[in-house]
Amino acid sequence: MISTPKSTAFSWTYLIAALVSLIGLGDAIYLTVQHITGASLRCTIISGCSEVLSSPYAQVGPVPLAALGAAAYFVVFSLAILAAFTYPLVKLLLKILLCLMFLTTLWLLYLQAFVIHHFCQYCLLSAAVTTALTLIVFLSSLRKKTV
Amino acid sequence: MKRSIPFLIIAIVLVVALGVMWKMSSSSRQSNGPQPVAMPSPGSLPSGATPAHVRGNANAPVTLEEFADFQCPSCGAYYAELKKMEADFGDKLRVIYRENPLYPNHQYSIIAAQAAEAAGLQGEDKFWAMHDKLFENQSTWAEAKDKDAAVAMFVEYAKQVGLNPDQFMRELNGEAVAARIFQDGKRSHAMGVQSTPSFFVNGKEATGESWKPEGLRKMINDALNAQ
């Protein structure tokens, strides 16, 4: 159960995190739709989209990995918005989720670099978004502790 | 009131996200129900390479035009499905293959297209033999260490399908081959092909659910029923 806001204060840091997560959400939705329709994507910046997105790592069981990513970004967005309105507890949940996402990102980067030997620009965008979110949330916490 | 603002924002984003997903995949709904069968008007689109590579009954009531890239994994995966469809629909279906190499995404896609077209210059049946060879061995030559190694494999395939290897090598980088790929590319661009493989059934693009094998079969059946 989400508890009520502590005060009327507003956290711009978490609002920025929420906005950044929307980039990841859009990217993941695009990849999910492409996965469902099954077309071989045209990479516009680097090559390797087809190889990565048609690899067995692109889905977890019957579920496209991109769909899980979209769900994760939506939860991050929701938690960040609640955190922006200073709902307690959600910040901890957000940090736990971001840790999991960041570790998953590192694993996916490893797969692209050393197993599939190709990179997909949409996956790299997602990796950048997750990294940015992790930095925003954790650096903001560190800064508050040192103040 | 203030406490509900974040939940309102979350709800709005959820609705927008679902709406975007629905919009992006809405083209799949075109496959539900009988389709009006549209034939491309001859004057409005580039014809592509002529004569086109056609397999099946030349007078078949349904034409399936495929735009593909020999190195694209989805095209390779679809290859076996198309073979089954050709066998199942028999004389009712003719298949046209158009070159749509996604270079530089697929580094050997152009040279593979050239190999197929060079084979075609020694006979239409040779084109299809090379076409089959390329798809059946896609995972092998796609991993070639460089272009020369890929070409060496193509020459081997050329010998296996009964081509004159010297003529094959001469024509591989020739103008006739380049012109055919260019002409198919112009048609692909004009028809708005964005990814491979792309299919058009009697001129109507198969998108969303229709793109999948079962959807494509249904689209072909609908086109047959509309005759």
Tens digits of residue pLDDT in B10-26:
999 999 989 888 887 76
Most confident of A111-120, A128-137, B19-28: A128-137
Check if the beta carbon of residue B66 is closer than 8 Å to that of residue B99: no
- Please state, in angstroms and as integers, the Cα–Cα distance from residue B164 to each residue in B118, B155, B156, B171, following that order: 11, 9, 11, 11
Residue A141: is its pLDDT beyond 70?
Answer: yes
Judged by CB atoms closer than 8 Å, whether chains meet at B74 and A84 is answered as no
**DSSP symbol at A92:** H
Q: Which residues share a beta bridge with B96?
A: B54, B65
Judged by CB atoms closer than 8 Å, whether chains meet at A49 and B196 is answered as no
The shortest C-alpha distance from B208 to chain A (Å) reads 5
For residues B62 and A90, give the distance between their C-alpha atoms in angstroms, rounded to a whole number: 58
Mean pLDDT rounded to a whole number for chain B: 87
Residue A2: is its pLDDT beyond 80?
Answer: no
Average pLDDT over residues A61-72: 90
Residue A92: is its pLDDT beyond 60?
Answer: yes
Nearest CA in chain B to A118: B105
Judged by CB atoms closer than 8 Å, whether chains meet at B75 and A49 is answered as no
Percent of chain A, pLDDT > 70? 80
Cβ–Cβ contacts within 10 Å for residue A139, how many? 11
Average pLDDT over residues A39-64: 72
pLDDT confidence tier of residue A106, bands split at 50, 70 and 90: very high
Q: How big is the CA angle at A64 (ends A60 and A70), to the nearest 5 degrees?
A: 115
pLDDT confidence tier of residue B178, bands split at 50, 70 and 90: very high
Average pLDDT over residues B75-98: 94
pTM listed for this prediction: 0.56
> Which chain A residues have a beta carbon less than 8 Å from that of B72?
40, 50
Q: Peptide bond before A88: cis, by omega within 30 degrees of 0?
A: no
- What's the pLDDT at B40? 45
- Please state, in angstroms and as integers, the Cα–Cα distance from residue A87 to each residue in A6, A11, B217, following that order: 6, 10, 53
Judged by CB atoms closer than 8 Å, whether chains meet at B74 and A8 is answered as no
Determine the residue type at A121: Q
The DSSP element (H or E) to which A78 belongs, if any, is helix A65-84
- What's the pLDDT at B202? 94
- Nearest CB to B74: which of A30, A48, A54? A54
For residues A118 and B104, give the distance between their C-alpha atoms in angstroms, rounded to a whole number: 13
Nearest CA in chain B to A37: B208
For residues B48 and B62, give the distance between their C-alpha atoms in angstroms, rounded to a whole number: 18
- What's the pLDDT at A52? 77
Judged by CB atoms closer than 8 Å, whether chains meet at B195 and A70 is answered as no
Check if the beta carbon of residue B38 is closer than 8 Å to that of residue B171: no
The shortest C-alpha distance from B207 to chain A (Å) reads 8
Judged by CB atoms closer than 8 Å, whether chains meet at A42 and B105 is answered as yes
> Which chain B residues have a beta carbon less than 8 Å from that of A26?
20
Q: Which one, of B206, B211, B205, B196, lies nearest residue B73 by Cα?
A: B196
Least-confidence region, from A138-147, B27-36, B75-84: B27-36
Query: Which of A32, A37, A52, A82 has the most B C-beta neighbours within 10 Å, making it the best mutation to test the interface with B?
Result: A37
Mean pLDDT rounded to a whole number for chain A: 84
> Which chain B residues have a beta carbon less than 8 Å from that of A29?
17, 20-21, 24
pLDDT confidence tier of residue B32, bands split at 50, 70 and 90: very low
Judged by CB atoms closer than 8 Å, whether chains meet at B105 and A5 is answered as no
Residue B42: is its pLDDT beyond 50?
Answer: no
Q: Find all residues with CB under 8 Å of B185, minimum gap 6, and list them.
A: B99, B100
Average pLDDT over residues B133-159: 94
Q: Which one, of B189, B186, B114, B190, lies nearest residue B147 by Cα?
A: B114
**DSSP symbol at A115:** I
Residue A87: is its pLDDT beyond 70?
Answer: yes
Determine the residue type at A73: Y
Residue B220: is its pLDDT beyond 90?
Answer: yes
- Nearest CB to A81: which of B10, B196, B211? B10
Residue A30: is its pLDDT beyond 70?
Answer: yes
Three-state SS string over chain B comes to CHHHHHHHHHHHHHHHHHHHHHHHHHHHHHHCCCCCCCCCCCCCCCCCCCCCEEEECCCCCEEEEEEECCCCHHHHHHHHHHHHHHHHHHHHEEEEEEECCCCCCCCCHHHHHHHHHHHHCCCHHHHHHHHHHHHHCHHHHCCCCCHHHHHHHHHHHHHHCCCCHHHHHHHHCCHHHHHHHHHHHHHHHHCCCCCECEEEECCEECCHHHHCHHHHHHHHHHHHHCC
- What's the pLDDT at B112? 96
For residues A96 and B174, give the distance between their C-alpha atoms in angstroms, rounded to a whole number: 60
The shortest C-alpha distance from A125 to chain B (Å) reads 17
Judged by CB atoms closer than 8 Å, whether chains meet at B105 and A29 is answered as no
Judged by CB atoms closer than 8 Å, whether chains meet at A40 and B72 is answered as yes
More confident call, A5 vs B102: B102
Percent of chain B, pLDDT > 70? 91
Average pLDDT over residues B16-42: 57
Residue A78: is its pLDDT beyond 50?
Answer: yes
Grouping H, G, I as helix, E, B as strand and the rest as coil, residue A40 is: strand
- What's the pLDDT at A145? 63
- What's the pLDDT at A96? 95
Residue B29 exposure: Cα atoms within 13 Å on the Cβ side = 6
More confident call, A52 vs B123: B123
Judged by CB atoms closer than 8 Å, whether chains meet at A37 and B73 is answered as no
Residue A34: is its pLDDT beyond 80?
Answer: no
pLDDT confidence tier of residue A146, bands split at 50, 70 and 90: low
Residue B155: is its pLDDT beyond 90?
Answer: yes
